[in-house]
């Protein structure tokens, strides 16, 4: 028989790239294994995975919200409420009983769109009766619970790409899920550039330019991806710009794909608040088809491993909702652990309830730590020669620009790597810190960046390592 | 702006069909809602979802394995081991500690292929050191943990379909995941027929015929799907036939996709044992690329809602494994609740451990109940006029054939439905029992079947309803 070879497989698979778990991350895992050897000979004693927003991972150890986990433990083994009655606060017991009455066992498939009761809770969260969200109605029938936001994004991109000439507008820099999904589903990425000199702001004219360019090449733009707060940039879009973006989608008949998974990660909420696109579309009474994605992996929840999230469709016909339902039904249902995680996120303990004080303390601590680390890291990175870094007002990342010299570029060429990948590999080899080179997110020709998360404990030590590495790099390769 | 309409969307989405959660299941949900109304006027007081193998759902209420849930509860909230020390058996505490040391928090993303430690446990399970499996080596590097088997099947089909002329051989009747995935990924289903008159056996010549037919149409067969134990048929393939199937894959350079998710659901293990394709391929030292799928949703585990499973690749090159890794990394990782569910499935309590007696009792009860219900249901269905039913030796289903008269076929034509769909809809309307018509799985022209699960409690009452419905149907529509 013929051996199975790469060229006998779907060519789209080879085009997919996902740098967040790419070469750097794979090498980091090998180094982590090597550290377990007694005489490993490495110049560091731990690997710090700053390549991915994974707050609860070993070494970062952001603690989970106790309320979420107490509810989850009771859902796993409901008898605990009787066997250890004094261990759980009453509101946790009540919540688990309420969910059990609706769901039954977390070991059963739920409705393919997600447990109806939890979708109702999500709708109330979006409406904002018990939170700070929109003040406009939301319909549980238009909400799909998902296994994290990624699953929903991939599905929607797959749905919109109806020919090899169909494209989706994506920001540069972008979260590589978008280019990866487009490669897999054979759509054309239509890049538009964010304005680094203006705090990574989104410029409506630059999107119109990208649309005009795509038209010239016979590409049909089908959707516009907006990541707000930005990934990797951390930027927040102001409401006036959001309105213009919605109008732009109207003008060009685009589906607006709003990646809003970092909506709760706001470090400067007074000056950089979050406004949902659902609110803007509702306020404008716009007919723009909108999909808003949210997740329990980010925010203060940080429950990446549960795989939970949702998307809400606005201005979608019933027949398209039915089509989406059919597609998700083939995968049966999103993980129940993720679904009950969504419930905890959208219905946190309220003032006066037994779990509220601890919940408040835990969430305040996470918010404050992230805001303070982000500020310190941006400030100190900005003092380094050849480094400039927008101080992100949101999300979990910084995306510093680094000037890389001719000597470094030549060295990268010899190594057959992008210059920022060479920088990131050297950083990993010398400090154990794993970041993702800007080439994985996209950047202007001749510019170099990397993305790092602001999740590390011990920020002084951490930034110290970044600093001394960078200074040694400059010593070796120079600045021009 | 233009409204978003179906014809602007990916045409493959409209071709996807998934009857297990299709028209019947949607109607069943509506009826379930209607039952909550005080004067619902329905001729039944509960809806029984026999359309899907979902053992723990409400109304079926197969209890979860206590050990699995105790471990899961401790993983959710590890402090419980201290707060309620006497509630958990020592082996549960030890297991949770062991897993925590390897995984850290279940709220963190794991390795995209699944926690390495759990993949090692899966490899040992496959090797059979502590179970009855293969006796041949398995490599954790070739094992991918998944969110249920479906996610893996869809990925592999997507990978194999490298042109619109690429096809996959699928059994008829089949589990509709296969046709749905092929429709989504634009591959050609190449049907081969199972032999109902011989207990739904798999015939090698019928597969060769199907290959020859496909060649005539310019289709390139890339893979062969075998579902063993069968879904919807429940049939087990004997080892001699398995060897021939492997040789057939060698002859035609096919990837063997072995859906083995029901490997633990054996009702007549003495006469109808399960042999894995991994064992057969290993024994023959065959070079056939094999993917074997397994799941925690079936077996005695029945943990559908956790979304856990795995696939093992055999005879795949390192570069193809790397390609698969890259693709799954875009989705970050399988749900941790599913992953630890896999661990519990492949490492159950052993004799002598504190949890063993309860585990043994629980699993024996589930096995015995399923075997006995399957037997009773098959026997009684076989006594009905115009019904013949193979007594399934495995899986969770029966797939009875029903003769449907000219009058019934005419009525179906008027209603614009398949005749077996008309039968199933009437069954639902009159009894509240939801089954899936054979047209959803495939059947020979002019034959009619339906699939029902053997999961209902109160089998006498349940079969009684099927019987009286069928007799009334025959009275109304006649037999010829």
Query: pLDDT, tens digit, for every residue of A93-141?
Result: 999 999 999 999 999 999 999 999 999 999 999 998 656 788 999 999 9
* Residue of higher predicted confidence among A405 and B61: A405
Query: Which range of residues forms the domain containing residue B340?
Result: 108-346
One domain, residues B22 and B50: yes
- Has residue B450 been placed in a domain? yes
Interface test with A, best of B81, B105, B255, B288 (most A CBs within 10 A): B105
Which chain B residues touch A9 with a CB distance below 8 Å?
A: 159-160, 162, 320, 323
Tell me which residue of A396, A397, A379 sits closest to A388, measured CA to CA: A379
Interface test with B, best of A153, A168, A337, A457 (most B CBs within 10 A): A337
Q: Which residues of A touch B154 (CB under 8 A)?
A: 330-331
Q: Is A17 helix (H, G, I), strand (E, B) or coil?
A: coil
Answer whether residue B287 is part of any domain. Answer: yes
Full-model pTM: 0.95
Residues of B in contact with A148 (CB under 8 A): 331-332
All residue ranges of chain B with pLDDT < 50 are none
Percent of chain A with pLDDT over 90: 88
In this structure, are A328 and A399 located in the same domain? no
- Cβ B9–A251 below 8 Å, yes or no? no
Report chain A residues whose CB lies below 8 A from the CB of B64: 105, 107
Residue to mutate among A3, A7, A10, with most B CBs inside 10 A, is A10
Given an 8 Å threshold on Cβ–Cβ distance, is B54 in contact with A112? no
Residue A133 and residue A36 share a domain: no
Which of B149, B332, B333 to mutate against chain A (most A CBs within 10 Å)?
A: B332
Selecting from B6, B105, B320 the residue whose C-beta is nearest the C-beta of A320 gives B6
Confidence of residue A63 (pLDDT cuts 50, 70, 90): very high
| 8 Å CB contact of B184 and A337 | no
Nearest CA in chain A to B23: A326
Q: Could you say which of A315, A346, A377 is where a domain stops?
A: A346
Indicate the pLDDT class of residue A237, thresholds 50, 70 and 90: very high
Query: Cα–Cα–Cα angle for B474, B476, B480, nearest 5°?
Result: 55
Contact B287 A1 (CB under 8 A): yes
Q: Mutate one of B84, B109, B457 to test the A interface: name it (highest A CB count within 10 A).
A: B109
Task: Tell me the nearest-neighbour CA distance from A308 into chain B, angstroms.
Answer: 9
Domain shared by A158 and A278, yes or no:
yes
Which uninterrupted H or E stretch holds A145?
A: strand A143-146
From chain A, the residues in CB contact with B150 under 8 A are 330-332
pLDDT value, residue B133: 87
What are A12-34's pLDDT values in tens digits?
A: 998 888 877 788 888 998 999 99
Whether A88 is in a domain gets the answer no
- Please give the angle made by the CA atoms of B249, B251 and B253, to the nearest 5 degrees: 60
Give contacts of A336 with chain B, Cβ < 8 Å.
305-307, 337
Contacts of A10 (CB under 8 A, 6+ apart): B158, B159, B160, B161, B162, B185
Would you call A305 and B1 a contact, using CB atoms and an 8 Å cutoff?
A: no
Closest approach of chain B CAs to the CA of A194, in angstroms? Answer: 23
CA A175 to chain B, closest CA, distance in angstroms equals 11
Taking an 8 Å cut-off on Cβ atoms, the answer to whether B336 and A305 are in contact is yes
Beta-carbon separation of A4 and B289 below 8 A: yes
If asked whether residues A367 and A340 sit together in one domain, one would say no
Complex ipTM > 0.90: yes
> Which pLDDT value is given to residue A133?
87
Which positions in chain A touch B20 (Cβ < 8 Å)? 329
**CATH number, domain with residue A384:** 3.90.1150.10
Please give the structure tokens belonging to residue B216.
């005539």
Residues B470 and B383 in one domain: yes
Considering the domain architecture, whether residues B300 and B383 belong to the same structural domain is answered as no
Domain end, chosen from A320, A346, A372, is at A346
- Cα of A220 to nearest chain B Cα, Å: 11
Taking an 8 Å cut-off on Cβ atoms, the answer to whether A107 and B56 are in contact is: yes
Chain A residues touching residue B336 (CB < 8 angstroms) = 305-307, 337
For residues A316 and B8, the answer to whether their CB atoms sit within 8 Å is no
Yes or no, beta carbons of A77 and B72 under 8 Å apart: yes
Domain-located, residue B356: no
Residues A324 and A268 in one domain: yes
Provide, as residue numbers in chain A, all residues whose Cβ is less than 8 Å from the Cβ of B184: 158, 327, 330
Instruction: Give Cβ neighbours of residue B244 (< 8 Å, ≥ 6 apart).
Output: B204
Best A64, A305, A358 residue to mutate vs chain B (most B CBs within 10 Å):
A305
CATH number, domain containing residue A299: 3.40.640.10
Instruction: Say which of A29, A84, A305 has its CB closest to residue B84.
Output: A84
* Residues A118 and A254 placed together within one structural domain of the fold: yes
B10–A159 C-beta distance less than 8 A: yes
pLDDT of residue A479: 87
Binary contact (A307, B84; C-beta < 8 A): no
Determine the Cα–Cα distance for residues B217 and B213; give it in Å rounded to an integer: 7
Q: Is B87 domain-assigned? A: no
Place of tokens 């706001």: A266
* Gap between the Cα atoms of A28 and A40, Å rounded: 14
Nearest Cα of chain A lies from the Cα of B298 at a distance, in angstroms, of: 11
Residue B406 falls inside a structural domain: yes
For residue A109, list chain B residues with Cβ-Cβ distance below 8 A: 52, 54, 57, 297, 304-305
- Put simply, the answer to whether B73 touches A76 (Cβ < 8 Å) is yes
Residue A255: predicted pLDDT = 97
Identify whether A464 is part of a domain.
yes
Q: Give the residue from B3, B5, B6, B10 with the most A CB atoms within 10 Å of its CB, the best one to mutate.
A: B10
**Domain boundary residue among A311, A346, A381?**
A346
| A338 and A373 both lie in a single domain | no
DSSP A137: -
Q: Is A397:A390 a contact under the CB 8 Å cutoff? A: no
Say if the Cβ atoms of B255 and A222 lie within 8 Å. Answer: no
User: Taking CB atoms and an 8 Å limit, are B335 and A333 in contact across chains?
Assistant: no
Q: What residues in B contact A304, CB-CB < 8 Å?
A: 107-109, 332-333
Contact B10 A330 (CB under 8 A): no
Shortest CA gap B243–chain A (Å): 16
Does B245 share its domain with B391? no
Residue of A nearest to B11 (CA): A162
A7 CA to chain B: closest CA distance, Å? 9
Cα–Cα dist B40/B452, whole Å: 26
| Same domain? A306 vs A337 | yes
For A343-388, how does the pLDDT look when each residue is reduced to its tens digit (9 = 90+)?
999 999 999 999 999 999 999 999 999 999 999 999 999 999 999 9
Q: What is the pLDDT of residue A130?
A: 57
CB–CB contact B147 A250 (8 Å): no
pLDDT at A61: 78
**How many structural domains compose chain B?**
2
B24 CA: distance to closest CA in chain A (Å): 13
Of B64, B180, B327, the CB nearest to A107: B64
């Amino acid at each position: 028989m013929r051996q199975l070879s790469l060229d006998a497989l779907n060519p789209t698979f080879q085009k997919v790239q996902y740098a967040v778990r790419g070469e750097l991350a794979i090498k980091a895992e090998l180094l982590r294994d090597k550290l377990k050897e007694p005489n490993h000979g490495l110049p560091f004693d731990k690997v710090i995975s700053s390549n991915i927003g994974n707050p609860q991972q070993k070494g970062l150890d952001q603690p989970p919200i106790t309320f979420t986990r107490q509810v989850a433990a009771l859902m796993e083994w409901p008898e605990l409420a009787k066997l250890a009655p004094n261990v759980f606060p009453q509101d946790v017991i009540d919540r688990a009983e309420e969910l059990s009455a609706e769901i039954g066992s977390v070991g059963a498939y739920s409705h393919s769109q997600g447990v109806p009761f939890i979708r109702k809770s999500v709708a109330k969260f979006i409406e904002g009766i018990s939170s700070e969200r929109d003040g406009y109605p939301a319909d549980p029938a238009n909400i799909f619970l998902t296994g994290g936001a990624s699953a929903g994004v991939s599905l929607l991109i797959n749905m919109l790409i109806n020919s090899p000439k169909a494209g989706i507008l994506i920001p540069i820099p972008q979260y590589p899920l978008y280019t990866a999904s487009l490669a897999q589903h054979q759509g054309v990425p239509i890049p538009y550039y964010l304005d680094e000199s203006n705090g990574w702001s989104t410029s409506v004219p630059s999107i119109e330019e990208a649309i005009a360019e795509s038209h010239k090449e016979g590409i049909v733009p089908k959707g516009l991806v907006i990541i707000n707060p930005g990934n990797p940039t951390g930027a927040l879009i102001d409401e006036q710009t959001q309105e213009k973006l919605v109008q732009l989608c109207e003008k060009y008949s685009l589906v607006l794909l709003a990646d809003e998974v970092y909506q709760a990660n706001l470090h400067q909420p007074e000056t950089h608040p979050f406004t949902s696109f659902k609110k803007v579309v509702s306020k404008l009474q716009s007919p723009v088809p909108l999909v808003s994605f949210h997740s329990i992996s980010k925010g203060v929840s940080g429950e990446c491993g549960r795989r939970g999230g949702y998307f809400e469709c606005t201005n979608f016909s019933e027949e398209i909702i039915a089509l989406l339902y059919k597609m998700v039904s083939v995968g049966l249902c999103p993980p129940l652990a993720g679904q009950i995680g969504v419930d905890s996120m959208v219905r946190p303990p309220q003032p006066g309830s037994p779990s509220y004080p601890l919940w408040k303390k835990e969430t305040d601590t996470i918010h404050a730590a992230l805001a303070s680390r982000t500020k310190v890291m941006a400030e100190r990175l900005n003092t380094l020669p050849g480094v400039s870094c927008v101080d992100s007002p949101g999300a979990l990342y910084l995306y510093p620009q680094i000037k890389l010299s001719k000597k470094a570029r030549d060295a990268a060429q010899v190594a057959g790597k992008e210059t920022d990948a060479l920088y990131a590999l050297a950083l990993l080899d010398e400090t154990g810190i794993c970041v993702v080179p800007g080439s994985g997110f996209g950047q202007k020709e001749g510019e170099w960046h990397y993305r790092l998360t602001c999740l590390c404990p011990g920020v002084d030590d951490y930034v110290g390592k970044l600093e001394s590495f960078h200074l040694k790099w400059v010593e070796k390769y120079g600045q021009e």
